A and B are shown apart, each in its own frame.
Chain A
Amino acid sequence: MIAVLARDLKLAVRAGGGFGLALAFFLIVVVLVPFALGPDTGLLTRIAPGVLWLGALLSCLLSLDRIFALDWEDGSLDLLATSPCPLELLCAVKALAHWLTTGLPLVLLAPVLGVLLNLPAAGVAPLTLSLLTGTPALSMIGAFGAALTVGLRRGGLLLSLIVLPLYVPTLILGAEVARRGAAGQSYETPALLLAGLTCGTIALLPFAAAAVLKVNLR
């Protein structure tokens, strides 16, 4: 179990591409926004929480197909599936590895990029908090989508089409926490709902992911 986690982390760091790519993409999205909308600081302050959330979500999406695709291609997924470790747990660990290599760096990077978008100082803590509670849900939902499309040759586009509607509740609640925080309002209710959503996702989706993975592996 730990071995799978360690292996995935090592692969992500050493194989290149996957690890830094999501962060670079996040950076570029955030940098491009002022180019598209103009350098008006008042406007940027208003949209900063939403842009940061959207950027984090898209960067997360970018690396989803790597969760299972590489293991599928070289056959190690079959070995993992026949190992004594239950497939549900494996899916959860895969999602955890994805979160550690993509979600967590994004969370750490977001406050820095917030400076670029003129995010008010009061908004930094709620933004980080909302990303910290929300991105695990993104990884878990993404792992489900990746398991669903792992057998397909051109699964990447389909994966986005399927996963993006599933991301809607997380995005709405997460961005709402960040927005209210930046505006100096109370953000307790959406933060609790977001945390509940994440917990529910982590509790239930490994079973769905394992079920579709079994179908794809037979």
Chain B
Amino acid sequence: MASFWQFANPRRFIAATDRVLPWLWGAGALCLAVGLVWGFFFTPDDVRQGATVKIIFLHVPSALMAINAWMMMLVASLIWVVRRHHVSALAARAAAPVGVVMTLIALATGALWGQPMWGTWWVWDPRLTSFLILFLFYLGYIALWEAIEDDDTAADLTAILCLVGSVFAVLSRYAVLFWNQGLHQGASLSLDTQENVHDAFYHPLLFCIAGFVVLFVALVLLRTQTEIRARRIRSLQARQRAGDTAREGGAA
């Protein structure tokens, strides 16, 4: 029976992802190369912003993935809480550092963009602030994973933290609206508007977003594989130590 849940078996997961990963790396590299080269070298400069407008090709995809990485961790945590598949917990763990890096890229490119445009690296604008809060949530999540030694306890606790944190992250997102009006522009991309950004930027941007998505999936799969293998090594070592002590006990 072909079912999505067969990948809850670590061996099947590794076998399947081994087959898929080279394609993902290739597709991600291709999308990013096309999107970035097209975006950086073959789009016109903006009338007012000049060449700095091209930061959009890194800023928007990384910001998008920073949020989606948390979403993915939320789904993976839910699957762990409900169905107790270890691969799912490890995938959530694997996604967190990637999400942090995406958040940092978004914050850093945003600062680089804000400096020439708004005249400041940082403002306490709702969007910027909620990203900083998201960054703190990521840090707390990762720190909790690192702090707990027992794997299952850590998976349970971080899963619940992820669920509670998601609720509070959404609350923060809307609470900050209260407290400051924004300098950041509205959404660059949404499905329900007629035109988002101009087509000249829109098409390479789509390539960049696709590249970031594929890159994220590939990184998470790779890191999940690494986690599974690291855990397997630890259990093998533990078994060997247990065998050694048993043999010594038998000899004595």
Measured CB to CB, the residues of A under 8 A from B are 144, 148-149, 151-152, 154-155, 158, 161-162, 164-166, 168-169, 172-173, 176, 190, 193, 197, 204-205, 208, 211-212, 215-216, 218
Contacts and interface: CB of A to CB of B under 8 A. Distances in A.
A166 B165 contact: yes
B171 interface: yes
A71 to B, nearest CB: 18
B165 A151 contact: no
B160 A164 contact: no
27 contacts: A144-B164, A148-B157, A148-B161, A151-B148, A152-B148, A155-B147, A158-B143, A161-B139, A162-B143, A164-B136, A165-B133, A165-B137, A165-B165, A165-B172, A166-B164, A168-B168, A169-B168, A169-B175, A172-B175, A172-B176, A173-B178, A208-B163, A215-B153, A215-B160, A216-B153, A216-B157, A218-B153
7 smallest A-B Cβ distances: which pairs? A169-B175, A169-B171, A162-B140, A165-B136, A215-B156, A172-B175, A168-B172
Contacts of B169: 165
A152 B136 CA distance: 20
B157 A166 contact: no
Summarize B's interface: helix, strand, loop or mixed.
Answer: helix
B75 interface: no
Given A173-B175, A193-B175, 20 more contacts: A148-B144, A152-B148, A154-B147, A155-B147, A158-B144, A162-B140, A165-B165, A165-B168, A168-B175, A168-B176, A169-B168, A169-B175, A172-B178, A172-B179, A173-B178, A208-B164, A212-B157, A212-B160, A212-B161, A215-B153
Interface string B142-170: 01100110000100110011011101110
B178 A166 contact: no
A215 B158 CA distance: 11
B146 to A, nearest CB: 9
A202 to B, nearest CB: 14
Contacts of B153: 151, 215-216, 218
B175 A212 contact: no
Contacts of B136: 161, 164-165
B25 to A, nearest CB: 34
A31 to B, nearest CB: 26
Highest count of chain A CB atoms <10 Å: which of B153, B168, B176: B168
Contacts of B165: 165-166
Contacts of A190: 178
A211 B160 contact: yes
A88 to B, nearest CB: 14
A8 B153 CA distance: 27
Contacts of B171: 169, 197
A41 B133 CA distance: 32
Interface in B187-213: none
Nearest to B180: A172
B160 A161 contact: no
A155 B153 CA distance: 15
Contacts of A162: 140, 143-144, 161
A193 B177 CA distance: 13
A90 B137 CA distance: 27
A144 to B, nearest CB: 7
A152 B165 CA distance: 20
Contacts of A197: 171
B29 to A, nearest CB: 35
B194 to A, nearest CB: 33
Contacts of B178: 172-173, 176, 190, 193
Contacts of A204: 167
A169 B172 contact: yes
Interface string B209-249: 00000000000000000000000000000000000000000
Contacts of A169: 168, 171-172, 175
B147 A152 contact: yes
Interface in B22-61: none
